[in-house]
Amino acid sequence: MKNMKKNPKQNRESSLMRSPLILGLSMVLCIPVAYSHAKSSNIVNNESVQSILQGRTIKGQIIDENNEPLIGVSVTVKGANTIGTITDFDGNYTLDVPAGKNSLEISYIGYKTQEITIGKNTQLNIKMQPDTQTLDEVVVVGYGTVKREI
């Protein structure tokens, strides 16, 4: 009786022939499922896109009581907490405000939170007022030892 050993080269060729076939079949089977899922789920709401497109861009600068620019001030659209920005190094900000929203909320640590009505303005420069009451509540405590060098 003959020895029934499989040839490794023949085994490799048959697996290479099967892999494109399996890949092609899996792609054909997955595409309709992915298409139907994308079609049924509303990833972007058309109404929200239209309101942003019909909105306007507000620009401005935020300064402190000494007319110095404030870096990192939070500027958000009131009633839409997911729409917001922070000021840059020069205290400047740019924000796209959707139609129907008419006020901004400005907040920064150590300053009073302000609500500003936009009106018909496209440029809003804001002066922040310090909140000394919250600064009085901060207490710094330090513990530790340091070896003195002579």
Q: In this structure, is residue 116 part of a structural domain? A: yes
Q: Which domain covers residue 122, as residue numbers?
A: 54-135
Q: Is the pTM of this model over 0.85?
A: no
CATH classification at residue 131: 2.60.40.1120
Q: In this structure, is residue 146 part of a structural domain? A: no
Q: In this structure, is residue 97 part of a structural domain? A: yes
Q: In this structure, is residue 46 part of a structural domain? A: no
Number of domains in the chain: 1
Q: Which residue has the tokens 């048959």?
A: 14
Q: In this structure, is residue 111 part of a structural domain? A: yes
Task: Spell out the per-residue pLDDT of the chain, length 150, in tens.
Answer: 555 555 655 555 555 556 676 767 666 666 665 555 545 444 555 545 554 556 788 999 999 999 999 999 999 998 887 889 999 999 999 998 888 888 999 999 889 999 999 888 889 999 999 987 765 566 677 887 777 777
Q: Which residues contact 78 (CB under 8 A, 6 or more apart)?
A: 101, 103, 104, 105, 115
